[in-house]
């Protein structure tokens, strides 16, 4: 963990999971530009995480990094306390870390892989979100806050022939948003979702289909895949005061799909 100031300030203090590359990196850099002090998690790419942290610090904000494997739920449970220790407070959370599993037909998806997908994409966000809400809730003495869950357009189309278990996990994340948004609206905690469509990131290579953005482009109304900064803009909005009356929403950033 890289230390950051523990003195509370009036700046937003936000935890972004899975921030060393792709959409997570774009979110971190956008939030830094907007004045958020940050805690950024990464799983194994320490040098890339520090590169993101340096880029964010150039905006004049405090940044800490945490190495976390969200398949380990005990480690996930320590993330919010560590973030609060690093920044002194927490007003925002972006549940971005996630995995897809291998691209392929439903009958070919190993159950062990599906179990891992659900552990990282559903159980870990539950653990982290519980801790964040307990810290933020005005009913518990907190100052309120905002949470953004990074879902996927797959959650509503099922992703047949691609990764049905991944789509299922993201549908579960959507319900985490809806349930917590309604349960904690009166406690000063807003919870929303951003659902990217196909985006130019390394996640496709990890799933065994590095050219997926180009292959899917003809089926996207806008004729192209998205870029990470286009997702980051929606997240920044939901964490801002402009979204003060927005909770339980899902912003679909998917080129018309």
Residue 9 has pLDDT above 60, yes or no: no
Do the bridges between strand 37-42 and strand 63-67 make them parallel or antiparallel, or are there none, so unpaired? parallel
Residue 257 has pLDDT above 90, yes or no: no
Of 8-22, 67-81, 84-98, 214-228, which range is least confident?
Answer: 214-228
Render pLDDT for 222-232 as a digit per residue (tens, 0 to 9). 898 889 999 99
pLDDT score for 6: 36
What's the full length of the chain, in residues? Answer: 257
pLDDT score for 18: 97
Render pLDDT for 128-154 as a digit per residue (tens, 0 to 9). 999 999 999 999 999 999 999 999 999
List the strands of the sheet with 189-196, edge to edge: 63-67, 37-42, 13-16, 92-95, 145-150, 189-196, 250-253
Q: What percent of the chain has pLDDT over 90?
A: 83
pLDDT level of residue 53 (50, 70, 90 thresholds): very high
| Residues annotated as part of the active site | 166
d(CA 202, CA 180) in angstroms, rounded, equals 30
Domain ranges of the chain: 13-253
What is the H or E stretch that residue 196 is in?
Answer: strand 189-196
Of 5 and 119, the one with more pLDDT: 119
- By C-alpha distance, which of 120, 156, 144, 129 is closest to 254? 156
Class in CATH terms, 13-253: alpha beta
pLDDT score for 215: 75
Residue 28 has pLDDT above 70, yes or no: yes
């Amino acid at each position: 963990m890289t230390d950051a100031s523990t003195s509370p300030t009036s700046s937003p203090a936000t935890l972004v999971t899975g921030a060393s590359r792709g959409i997570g990196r774009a979110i971190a850099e956008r939030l830094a530009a907007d004045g958020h002090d940050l805690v950024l998690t990464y799983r194994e790419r320490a040098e890339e995480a520090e590169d993101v942290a340096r880029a964010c610090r150039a905006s004049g904000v405090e940044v800490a990094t945490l190495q976390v494997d969200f398949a380990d739920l005990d480690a996930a449970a320590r993330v919010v306390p560590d973030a609060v220790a690093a920044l002194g407070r927490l007003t925002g959370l972006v549940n971005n870390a996630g995995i897809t599993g291998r691209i392929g037909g439903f009958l070919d998806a190993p159950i062990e892989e599906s179990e891992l997908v659900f552990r990282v994409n559903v159980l870990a966000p539950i653990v982290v979100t519980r801790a964040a809400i307990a810290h933020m809730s005005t009913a518990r003495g907190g100052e309120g806050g905002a949470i953004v869950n990074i879902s996927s357009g797959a959650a509503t189309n099922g992703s047949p022939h691609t990764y049905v278990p991944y789509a299922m996990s993201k549908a579960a994340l959507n319900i985490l948003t809806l349930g917590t948004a309604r349960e904690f609206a009166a406690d000063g905690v807003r919870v929303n979702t951003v659902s990217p469509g196909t985006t130019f990131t390394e996640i496709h290579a990890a799933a065994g289909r590095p050219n997926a953005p180009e292959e899917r482009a003809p089926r996207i109304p806008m004729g192209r895949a998205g870029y990470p900064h286009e997702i980051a803009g929606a997240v920044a909005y939901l964490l801002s005061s402009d979204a003060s009356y927005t909770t339980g929403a899902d912003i679909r950033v998917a080129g018309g799909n």
